[in-house]
Structure 1
């Protein structure tokens, strides 16, 4: 006993208090410099490609070029965008078309993705891997290929759509969907849904597979099977994934440009019926045909796109996501 007591007194770490021991542990903890080394390339690339251009765009929107000399204009470009009828009419038209483009994806693409994921996650379904691959293949196709191919398919002159409808006796239903103002944007939205429905399908499919087997077995013990099991058990558990898909859809749709440009051109015809913020930005910044490019007004439109997307993301993060956390398992 005496030797143990004397040993404890001679050891300063054992006689010291918890605060001193914590300081000693913190001093001995090595600095993990390798984390900074591994993150540095990604941070530098992201800063050069995303952060610096973003601040450059915001700065450019506050200036106006007079005699090839940049002059600080404050918020005059934004006032012109909203107050000048020449600019405001095109901006609100593009914003409205963008909103409708997003609504089509939310009401058609995401529900279809959930249904496909629920069907493909069934263990009784045969060849599910083949179906997943076939549905996901259009996602990896180029926008140019998709836009040009569907423009050929829906062409009233040499397209295959009239002949296909004629084979089933529905040729009377065919109209030049890409050539009429009331149908063009909805048609392009559905084409985009066809191309990208594989993304929500795969994300929801992964979320369904990650549900613990214990939860499913407990539901089956309670007699909850089939569609009732999906609605009462699985759907509430995948709501966080559906929320993430919704915000990704929002960001992607309000950044859309490629499909509209490849199918309808920079003028987003007919009569600007398919004009969205991306094509409006392109014509304004770079100019098109008789329209002279204005990089300051183009930067102003790009800044408004950034603010709209930022507002939508903030609404999701601070309101919707906090409510969806209760469904996480």
Structure 2
């Protein structure tokens, strides 16, 4: 045997890949190429405006010149009565607006999804379309339509209530401070109940048939089956609907602005953080616009949403993982 043969025998053999092992990781440059356009657009329309808003909240205008004031705008927002009264009032209205959605919109969405998922339901496609259709309507159309419906002068509500002998129950709900915010919240619930309905409906359809069949073999059927078997399995989806409701309500603006205007009448009774921000940033017939204070309000809104989402992601969602397959 020659020296060359000895060298060939002593050379290390190439490592054999274990059965089922993944191929060697390759340089995936194409992933960055495909993600780059979306990342650039998102950065331009979301990230840059966000940081510019945070920067704007730290400045003020003095004799037409922008001057750095640090946290002075936030101190004024929380400390000066002319700002803090509107801030706390708007925040309280926002909480009421959100709670009405949580107590009505999501439970109704669960109930509708449960009924639509019944295997023997006829016309399910029609009902899904009918319940989801208001979601696709413009908020301008929804706002003006309901404003006309509830109008005490030319609305159809007094006539409809009079037809069933309940005309005495009618009141100008959008014109009274005690009922305007609740009425707008109910209109919003009517418009957006289709979103949690469809999400929960898809989650119910995703439950394996084996789980349902096993429950039926154990004698668990009907409402008891939904309560004991299906409801725990869709808790993660209900959690997603809840956090989407939270973010959407603390960003709400369009419906109230369409129906009640920038002043969120009557007497600011429907004023929420979104209308307060708009009125402060752009100004109105009662005050001049102040972009720096408006940016401070926007920063407070961002902080509230960030805290709420973080609590859900790191505190609640982890506990819901046990309900996932």
Asked if TM exceeds 0.5, the reply is: yes
Higher fraction of helix: 1
TM-score class normalised by the smaller sequence:
over 0.9
Please give the alpha-carbon distance, in whole angstroms, between the structure 2 residues aligned to 1:243 and 1:48. Answer: 30
Aligned partner of 2:253 in structure 1 is 257
Moved over 3 A (4+): 6-14
1:65-92: CA deviation from partner (whole Å, max 9, x where unpaired): 1011111111110000000000000000
- List runs of 5+ in structure 2 lacking aligned partners: 1-5
Equivalent residues in 2 for 1:112-151, closer than 5 Å:
112-151=108-147
What SS does the aligned partner of 2:87 have? helix
User: Given the alignment of the two structures, is residue 32 of structure 1 paired with residue 21 of structure 2, yes or no?
Assistant: no
User: Given the alignment of the two structures, is residue 193 of structure 1 paired with residue 189 of structure 2, yes or no?
Assistant: yes
1:12 positional shift:
3.6
Aligned partner of 2:264 in structure 1 is 268
Please give the alpha-carbon distance, in whole angstroms, between the structure 2 residues aligned to 1:98 and 1:8. Answer: 78
- List runs of 5+ in structure 1 lacking aligned partners: 1-5
The CA RMSD over aligned residues, in Å, is 1.8
Pick from 32, 38, 41: which aligns with 2:37? 41
Q: How many residues align?
A: 317
TM-score (norm 1): 0.93
Aligned partner of 2:304 in structure 1 is 308
Equivalent residues in 2 for 1:222-261, closer than 5 Å:
222-261=218-257
What SS does the aligned partner of 1:31 have? coil
TM-score (norm 2): 0.94
Please give the alpha-carbon distance, in whole angstroms, between the structure 2 residues aligned to 1:51 and 1:100. Answer: 30
Deviates more, 1:313-322 or 1:113-122: 313-322
Please give the alpha-carbon distance, in whole angstroms, between the structure 2 residues aligned to 1:99 and 1:43. Answer: 33
1:7 positional shift:
12
Aligned partner of 2:172 in structure 1 is 176
Distance 1:222 1:81, change over 3 A: same
Equivalent residues in 2 for 1:280-291, closer than 5 Å:
280-291=276-287
1:286 positional shift:
0.3
Distance 1:150 1:13, change over 3 A: farther
